[in-house]
Structure 1
Amino acid sequence: MTQRVELATVMDRLAVDGLITEYAVAVDDGDWTAYRDLFAPEGRADYRSAGGIEGDAAQVARWLARSMELFPMRQHLIVNRRVRFGYLEQDTGDTAQVQADYINPMRLAGQDGGSTAPDFVCGGRYAFTLIRTPDGWRITELTVQEKWRRSPHPSPT
Protein backbone atom coordinates (compact mmCIF):
# COMPACT_ATOMS: atom_id res chain seq x y z
CA MET A 1 0.00 0.00 0.00
CA THR A 2 1.20 3.47 -0.77
CA GLN A 3 1.14 6.22 1.83
CA ARG A 4 -1.63 7.95 -0.14
CA VAL A 5 -3.83 4.83 -0.02
CA GLU A 6 -3.08 4.32 3.66
CA LEU A 7 -3.98 7.95 4.44
CA ALA A 8 -7.24 7.65 2.45
CA THR A 9 -8.12 4.48 4.38
CA VAL A 10 -7.47 6.20 7.71
CA MET A 11 -9.61 9.18 6.63
CA ASP A 12 -12.43 6.81 5.57
CA ARG A 13 -12.24 4.95 8.89
CA LEU A 14 -12.54 8.24 10.77
CA ALA A 15 -15.50 9.30 8.62
CA VAL A 16 -17.25 5.95 9.12
CA ASP A 17 -16.62 6.13 12.86
CA GLY A 18 -18.09 9.64 12.87
CA LEU A 19 -21.21 8.42 11.05
CA ILE A 20 -21.78 5.66 13.62
CA THR A 21 -21.35 8.19 16.43
CA GLU A 22 -23.79 10.59 14.72
CA TYR A 23 -26.30 7.72 14.55
CA ALA A 24 -26.10 7.18 18.32
CA VAL A 25 -26.35 10.91 19.06
CA ALA A 26 -29.35 11.37 16.73
CA VAL A 27 -31.27 8.55 18.43
CA ASP A 28 -30.28 9.63 21.94
CA ASP A 29 -31.20 13.26 21.27
CA GLY A 30 -34.38 12.41 19.37
CA ASP A 31 -33.16 14.32 16.30
CA TRP A 32 -35.14 12.43 13.69
CA THR A 33 -34.18 14.80 10.86
CA ALA A 34 -30.51 14.11 11.57
CA TYR A 35 -31.33 10.38 11.79
CA ARG A 36 -32.93 10.39 8.31
CA ASP A 37 -30.02 12.40 6.90
CA LEU A 38 -27.57 9.63 7.90
CA PHE A 39 -29.20 7.30 5.36
CA ALA A 40 -28.76 7.09 1.59
CA PRO A 41 -32.03 7.74 -0.29
CA GLU A 42 -32.71 3.99 -0.52
CA GLY A 43 -31.55 3.36 3.07
CA ARG A 44 -33.47 0.94 5.28
CA ALA A 45 -33.37 -0.07 8.94
CA ASP A 46 -34.53 -3.23 10.69
CA TYR A 47 -35.32 -3.08 14.41
CA ARG A 48 -37.55 -6.18 14.49
CA SER A 49 -35.28 -8.17 16.83
CA ALA A 50 -35.81 -5.43 19.41
CA GLY A 51 -39.58 -5.43 19.00
CA GLY A 52 -39.61 -2.74 16.33
CA ILE A 53 -40.22 -2.44 12.61
CA GLU A 54 -38.34 -2.71 9.33
CA GLY A 55 -38.67 -0.01 6.71
CA ASP A 56 -37.15 2.96 4.97
CA ALA A 57 -35.40 5.60 7.07
CA ALA A 58 -38.43 7.91 7.19
CA GLN A 59 -40.79 5.14 8.34
CA VAL A 60 -38.37 3.96 10.99
CA ALA A 61 -37.69 7.53 12.19
CA ARG A 62 -41.43 8.04 12.73
CA TRP A 63 -41.66 4.76 14.66
CA LEU A 64 -38.59 5.65 16.76
CA ALA A 65 -40.01 9.10 17.54
CA ARG A 66 -43.17 7.50 18.97
CA SER A 67 -41.36 4.64 20.73
CA MET A 68 -38.70 6.79 22.35
CA GLU A 69 -41.30 9.00 24.04
CA LEU A 70 -41.34 6.28 26.72
CA PHE A 71 -37.66 7.00 27.45
CA PRO A 72 -36.82 10.68 28.09
CA MET A 73 -33.19 9.75 28.82
CA ARG A 74 -31.20 7.58 26.41
CA GLN A 75 -27.47 6.96 26.06
CA HIS A 76 -26.21 4.59 23.38
CA LEU A 77 -22.74 3.24 23.85
CA ILE A 78 -21.48 1.71 20.60
CA VAL A 79 -18.24 -0.24 20.96
CA ASN A 80 -16.08 -2.91 19.30
CA ARG A 81 -16.51 -1.35 15.86
CA ARG A 82 -15.25 -3.61 13.09
CA VAL A 83 -14.99 -1.89 9.71
CA ARG A 84 -14.45 -3.69 6.40
CA PHE A 85 -14.24 -1.71 3.18
CA GLY A 86 -15.57 -3.28 0.00
CA TYR A 87 -15.62 -2.73 -3.70
CA LEU A 88 -18.17 -1.09 -5.96
CA GLU A 89 -17.50 -1.02 -9.70
CA GLN A 90 -13.86 -1.95 -9.01
CA ASP A 91 -13.19 1.19 -6.94
CA THR A 92 -11.61 0.34 -3.61
CA GLY A 93 -13.50 1.47 -0.58
CA ASP A 94 -16.84 2.74 -1.93
CA THR A 95 -18.77 0.46 0.41
CA ALA A 96 -18.23 -0.57 3.99
CA GLN A 97 -19.61 -3.12 6.42
CA VAL A 98 -19.56 -2.22 10.10
CA GLN A 99 -20.41 -4.51 12.98
CA ALA A 100 -20.58 -2.84 16.37
CA ASP A 101 -21.80 -3.95 19.75
CA TYR A 102 -24.06 -1.69 21.77
CA ILE A 103 -25.38 -1.23 25.26
CA ASN A 104 -28.29 1.15 25.59
CA PRO A 105 -29.43 2.32 29.02
CA MET A 106 -32.69 4.27 28.95
CA ARG A 107 -34.68 5.90 31.73
CA LEU A 108 -38.43 5.27 31.67
CA ALA A 109 -40.77 8.26 31.80
CA GLY A 110 -42.58 8.79 35.08
CA GLN A 111 -46.32 9.32 35.35
CA ASP A 112 -45.84 13.07 35.87
CA GLY A 113 -43.80 13.39 32.68
CA GLY A 114 -40.48 13.24 34.51
CA SER A 115 -38.21 10.25 34.60
CA THR A 116 -38.16 7.44 37.08
CA ALA A 117 -35.93 4.54 38.01
CA PRO A 118 -35.18 1.77 37.47
CA ASP A 119 -33.66 1.88 34.03
CA PHE A 120 -34.41 -0.24 31.01
CA VAL A 121 -31.18 -1.55 29.51
CA CYS A 122 -30.59 -3.58 26.37
CA GLY A 123 -27.58 -4.73 24.41
CA GLY A 124 -26.73 -6.39 21.15
CA ARG A 125 -25.07 -5.82 17.82
CA TYR A 126 -25.58 -3.42 14.95
CA ALA A 127 -24.78 -4.34 11.36
CA PHE A 128 -24.36 -1.30 9.13
CA THR A 129 -23.93 -1.36 5.37
CA LEU A 130 -22.56 1.94 4.13
CA ILE A 131 -21.91 3.60 0.80
CA ARG A 132 -19.73 6.53 -0.12
CA THR A 133 -21.85 9.33 -1.63
CA PRO A 134 -21.01 12.86 -2.81
CA ASP A 135 -22.26 13.97 0.64
CA GLY A 136 -20.03 11.51 2.51
CA TRP A 137 -20.67 8.05 3.93
CA ARG A 138 -24.34 7.10 4.31
CA ILE A 139 -26.23 4.08 5.65
CA THR A 140 -27.90 1.83 3.08
CA GLU A 141 -28.86 -0.87 5.56
CA LEU A 142 -28.98 -1.06 9.34
CA THR A 143 -29.92 -4.20 11.24
CA VAL A 144 -30.29 -4.35 15.00
CA GLN A 145 -29.72 -7.72 16.64
CA GLU A 146 -30.82 -7.33 20.24
CA LYS A 147 -29.16 -10.02 22.36
CA TRP A 148 -30.47 -9.17 25.83
CA ARG A 149 -32.54 -6.72 27.84
CA ARG A 150 -33.17 -5.91 31.45
CA SER A 151 -36.51 -4.39 32.23
CA PRO A 152 -37.82 -3.02 35.52
CA HIS A 153 -40.96 -5.13 34.94
CA PRO A 154 -39.92 -8.76 34.48
CA SER A 155 -41.88 -10.77 31.96
CA PRO A 156 -44.12 -13.47 33.45
CA THR A 157 -42.69 -16.95 33.02
Structure 2
Amino acid sequence: MTDHLRDRYEIVELCTRMGWHLDHCQWDELVDLFTDEIRLDYTSLNGGEPVTLPRKDVIEKWRSNREGLAATQHLVSNQLVDVDGDTAEATAMFQATHLLPNEFGGPLWTLAGEYRYALLRTADGWRIKGLTMSIIWAEGNRNIRDLAVQAD
Protein backbone atom coordinates (compact mmCIF):
# COMPACT_ATOMS: atom_id res chain seq x y z
CA MET A 1 0.00 0.00 0.00
CA THR A 2 1.40 3.40 -0.90
CA ASP A 3 1.86 6.05 1.77
CA HIS A 4 -0.87 8.14 0.12
CA LEU A 5 -3.41 5.30 0.28
CA ARG A 6 -2.42 4.47 3.86
CA ASP A 7 -2.88 8.11 4.90
CA ARG A 8 -6.24 8.28 3.17
CA TYR A 9 -7.43 5.06 4.79
CA GLU A 10 -6.32 6.17 8.27
CA ILE A 11 -7.96 9.59 7.90
CA VAL A 12 -11.29 8.20 6.63
CA GLU A 13 -11.27 5.66 9.47
CA LEU A 14 -10.49 8.38 12.04
CA CYS A 15 -13.30 10.65 10.86
CA THR A 16 -15.77 7.77 10.73
CA ARG A 17 -14.85 6.73 14.28
CA MET A 18 -15.77 10.20 15.56
CA GLY A 19 -19.44 9.68 14.69
CA TRP A 20 -19.40 6.03 15.79
CA HIS A 21 -18.02 6.83 19.24
CA LEU A 22 -20.45 9.75 19.67
CA ASP A 23 -23.43 7.56 18.81
CA HIS A 24 -22.30 4.80 21.19
CA CYS A 25 -21.35 7.17 24.04
CA GLN A 26 -17.77 5.88 23.96
CA TRP A 27 -16.24 9.00 25.48
CA ASP A 28 -12.84 7.55 26.35
CA GLU A 29 -12.36 6.37 22.77
CA LEU A 30 -12.98 9.89 21.46
CA VAL A 31 -9.94 11.24 23.32
CA ASP A 32 -7.45 9.52 21.00
CA LEU A 33 -9.04 10.99 17.87
CA PHE A 34 -8.16 14.61 18.60
CA THR A 35 -5.25 16.92 19.28
CA ASP A 36 -5.05 18.55 22.71
CA GLU A 37 -6.96 21.59 21.40
CA ILE A 38 -9.68 21.56 18.78
CA ARG A 39 -10.92 24.42 16.62
CA LEU A 40 -14.69 24.04 16.26
CA ASP A 41 -16.80 25.97 13.80
CA TYR A 42 -20.50 25.33 14.28
CA THR A 43 -21.46 28.84 13.16
CA SER A 44 -23.77 27.55 10.43
CA LEU A 45 -25.91 26.06 13.22
CA ASN A 46 -25.41 28.38 16.17
CA GLY A 47 -24.08 31.66 14.74
CA GLY A 48 -21.27 33.37 16.62
CA GLU A 49 -17.60 32.72 15.94
CA PRO A 50 -15.45 29.58 15.72
CA VAL A 51 -13.79 28.60 19.01
CA THR A 52 -10.65 26.72 20.03
CA LEU A 53 -11.17 24.55 23.10
CA PRO A 54 -9.30 21.88 25.05
CA ARG A 55 -10.19 18.38 23.85
CA LYS A 56 -11.63 17.43 27.26
CA ASP A 57 -14.06 20.39 27.15
CA VAL A 58 -15.28 19.48 23.67
CA ILE A 59 -15.86 15.85 24.62
CA GLU A 60 -17.64 16.84 27.84
CA LYS A 61 -19.95 19.20 25.90
CA TRP A 62 -20.75 16.44 23.40
CA ARG A 63 -21.36 14.05 26.29
CA SER A 64 -23.83 16.43 27.97
CA ASN A 65 -25.64 16.98 24.64
CA ARG A 66 -25.79 13.25 23.81
CA GLU A 67 -26.60 11.64 27.15
CA GLY A 68 -30.01 13.29 27.44
CA LEU A 69 -31.08 11.82 24.10
CA ALA A 70 -32.48 8.35 23.51
CA ALA A 71 -30.16 7.89 20.50
CA THR A 72 -28.19 9.59 17.76
CA GLN A 73 -26.97 8.37 14.41
CA HIS A 74 -24.20 10.13 12.49
CA LEU A 75 -23.89 8.93 8.90
CA VAL A 76 -20.73 10.09 7.12
CA SER A 77 -20.15 9.59 3.39
CA ASN A 78 -18.52 10.91 0.22
CA GLN A 79 -15.22 11.43 1.99
CA LEU A 80 -12.48 13.30 0.17
CA VAL A 81 -8.95 13.56 1.59
CA ASP A 82 -6.14 15.95 0.68
CA VAL A 83 -2.81 15.23 2.39
CA ASP A 84 0.00 17.78 2.43
CA GLY A 85 2.94 16.35 4.37
CA ASP A 86 1.96 16.18 8.04
CA THR A 87 -1.31 18.04 7.63
CA ALA A 88 -4.47 17.10 5.81
CA GLU A 89 -7.99 18.24 5.14
CA ALA A 90 -10.90 15.87 4.73
CA THR A 91 -14.44 16.68 3.72
CA ALA A 92 -17.48 14.48 4.07
CA MET A 93 -21.22 14.72 3.74
CA PHE A 94 -23.09 13.94 6.95
CA GLN A 95 -26.55 13.31 8.25
CA ALA A 96 -27.04 13.41 12.02
CA THR A 97 -30.36 12.26 13.47
CA HIS A 98 -31.20 12.88 17.13
CA LEU A 99 -33.98 10.99 18.92
CA LEU A 100 -35.82 12.11 22.04
CA PRO A 101 -39.47 11.13 22.51
CA ASN A 102 -41.11 14.10 24.25
CA GLU A 103 -44.41 15.82 24.88
CA PHE A 104 -43.39 19.10 23.20
CA GLY A 105 -43.16 18.03 19.55
CA GLY A 106 -41.78 15.42 17.23
CA PRO A 107 -39.18 12.95 18.50
CA LEU A 108 -36.60 13.55 15.75
CA TRP A 109 -34.24 16.32 14.70
CA THR A 110 -32.07 15.69 11.67
CA LEU A 111 -29.23 17.84 10.39
CA ALA A 112 -27.44 17.30 7.11
CA GLY A 113 -24.52 18.98 5.47
CA GLU A 114 -20.77 18.87 5.22
CA TYR A 115 -18.00 18.28 7.74
CA ARG A 116 -14.55 19.70 7.07
CA TYR A 117 -11.84 18.14 9.21
CA ALA A 118 -8.38 19.68 9.71
CA LEU A 119 -5.91 16.94 10.57
CA LEU A 120 -2.39 16.67 11.93
CA ARG A 121 -0.02 13.72 11.73
CA THR A 122 1.42 13.07 15.20
CA ALA A 123 3.83 10.47 16.56
CA ASP A 124 0.68 8.46 17.46
CA GLY A 125 -0.97 8.80 14.04
CA TRP A 126 -3.45 11.20 12.49
CA ARG A 127 -5.52 13.40 14.83
CA ILE A 128 -8.38 15.83 14.22
CA LYS A 129 -7.34 19.39 15.12
CA GLY A 130 -10.33 21.21 13.66
CA LEU A 131 -13.92 20.53 12.68
CA THR A 132 -16.24 22.74 10.66
CA MET A 133 -19.90 21.79 10.28
CA SER A 134 -21.78 23.43 7.41
CA ILE A 135 -25.52 22.79 7.53
CA ILE A 136 -27.26 22.30 4.19
CA TRP A 137 -30.66 21.34 5.56
CA ALA A 138 -32.42 20.46 8.80
CA GLU A 139 -35.74 18.87 9.59
CA GLY A 140 -37.72 18.14 12.71
CA ASN A 141 -37.82 19.34 16.29
CA ARG A 142 -34.74 21.47 17.04
CA ASN A 143 -35.98 21.83 20.63
CA ILE A 144 -34.79 18.27 21.24
CA ARG A 145 -31.30 19.71 21.86
CA ASP A 146 -32.49 21.90 24.74
CA LEU A 147 -34.80 19.22 26.13
CA ALA A 148 -31.93 16.72 26.19
CA VAL A 149 -29.71 19.04 28.23
CA GLN A 150 -32.56 19.73 30.68
CA ALA A 151 -33.11 15.98 31.11
CA ASP A 152 -29.57 15.50 32.51
Residue 134, structure 1, aligned to residue 123, structure 2: yes
Residue 98, structure 1, aligned to residue 87, structure 2: no
User: How much has 1:145 moved relative to structure 2?
Assistant: 1.5
Residue 39, structure 1, aligned to residue 34, structure 2: yes
TM-score for the superposition, normalised by structure 2: 0.79
Q: Which has the higher contact order (CA 8 A, sep 6+)?
A: 2
How do residues 1-157 of structure 1 correspond to structure 2 at under 5 angstroms? Answer: 7-51=2-46, 54=51, 55-86=53-84, 93-110=85-102, 118-152=107-141
Could you tell me which residue of structure 2 aligns to residue 3 of structure 1?
A: none
CA distance in 1, matches of 2:135, 2:68: 18
CA distance in 2, matches of 1:104, 1:133: 29
Rg (Cα) greater in structure: 1
RMSD between superposed Cα atoms in Å: 2.4
User: How much has 1:147 moved relative to structure 2?
Assistant: 2.3
CA distance in 1, matches of 2:118, 2:93: 15
User: How much has 1:14 moved relative to structure 2?
Assistant: 0.7
Q: How high is the sequence identity, in percent, across the aligned residues?
A: 30
User: How much has 1:104 moved relative to structure 2?
Assistant: 1.0
User: How much has 1:44 moved relative to structure 2?
Assistant: 2.9
The 3-state SS of whatever aligns with 1:49 is helix
User: Once the two structures are superposed, what CA deviation does each residue of 1:69-105 show, in whole Å capped at 9, x if it has no partner?
Assistant: 332211111111111111xxxxxx3111011110112
TM-score for the superposition, normalised by structure 1: 0.77
Could you tell me which residue of structure 2 aligns to residue 89 of structure 1?
A: none
Give the unaligned 5+ runs of structure 2: 144-152
